Amino acid sequence: MIVGERKSLEEIRKMINGYKKVLVAGCGTCVTVCFAGGEKEVATIASALRLAAQKGGDAVEISEATIQRQCDIEFIQELKEKVEQADAVLSMGCGAGVQTIAETFGGKPVLPALNTRFIGRTEEQGIWSERCAACGDCILHLTGGICPIARCSKSILNGPCGGSKDGKCEIKSEVDCAWQLIYDRLKSLGQLDLLEKIIPVKDWSASRDGGPRKQVREDMKL
């Protein structure tokens, strides 16, 4: 899932300064799971903004709405009426959600309430960790299902750097060395021979393909 964190109340207040009617829009998928931009978080920040406006003597009207996915135009249309009534939209979705709302309702400013952090997983209640860098050229079949780009502090593709100690990273001692994890996993699978395969350096320019990446499924196009 995409993991995000809410910007500070001070930063958000600066962004909405000058707007009289602000719609706080939440997203019901990824950022709901990481407690950053779901319905509850929308209610919390909307309440905080109202209280701050009241204390500061600001005349601003805060409305709320949460849809299932901000990155899908089908669901974005559910916001149409409320967006039309607002001067600006404060999106609590990821960066893709912010941009999708902005592209759909071109006449309205759309402001990001979150900082999009990474693609990751839930470790335990309140803790999320990065697992994927969305590089577009997956090599997990060679590394025991552990991504060295996302999980190695140096994103090394062919074995450890030599600076790890007791299975921990030399850059951050509390972080597991990704290549130690890869070695242990491959050993448990009886696949240590995969370490002999040289993984080519990533061609990042090719993965970007000259601009924003796009995936097309011809079999699903109308």
pLDDT along the chain (222 residues), means of 10: 95 95 97 95 97 90 97 94 96 96 93 95 90 89 94 93 92 93 96 94 67 72 75
146 and 99 in a common domain:
no
Task: Specify the number of domains making up the chain.
Answer: 2
Please tell me whether residues 112 and 140 are part of one structural domain: no
Q: What is the pLDDT of residue 214?
A: 67
- If asked whether residues 22 and 85 sit together in one domain, one would say yes
Domain assignment present for residue 170? The answer is yes
pLDDT value at residue 137: 86
Residue 211: its pLDDT value, please? 66
- Maximum CA extent, the chain: 68
Measured on CA atoms in the order 123, 161, 196, 167, is the torsion positive or negative? negative
> 33 and 88 share a domain?
yes
CA angle, corner 84, sides to 82 and 88, nearest 5? 85
pLDDT of 9 reads 96
Residue 211: inside a domain: no
Domain that holds residue 34: 2-118
Can you give the pLDDT at residue 20?
Answer: 96
146 and 88 in a common domain: no
Same domain, 149 and 112: no
Q: What single letter denotes the amino acid at residue 13?
A: R
φ/ψ of residue 122, rounded to 5: -85, 125
Q: Residue 222 falls within a domain, yes or no?
A: no
Residue 128's DSSP bridge partners are 122
79/44 same-domain check: yes
* pLDDT the model gives residue 118: 93
Instruction: For residue 67, give the CATH number of its domain.
Output: 3.40.50.2300
pTM (2 d.p.): 0.84
Last residue of a domain, one of 118, 152, 171: 118
Total Cβ atoms within 10 A of residue 17: 9
Dihedral of the alpha carbons of 92, 23, 108, 60, in degrees to the nearest 10 = -120
Partners of 78 in the β-ladder:
none
Q: Is residue 76 part of a domain?
A: yes
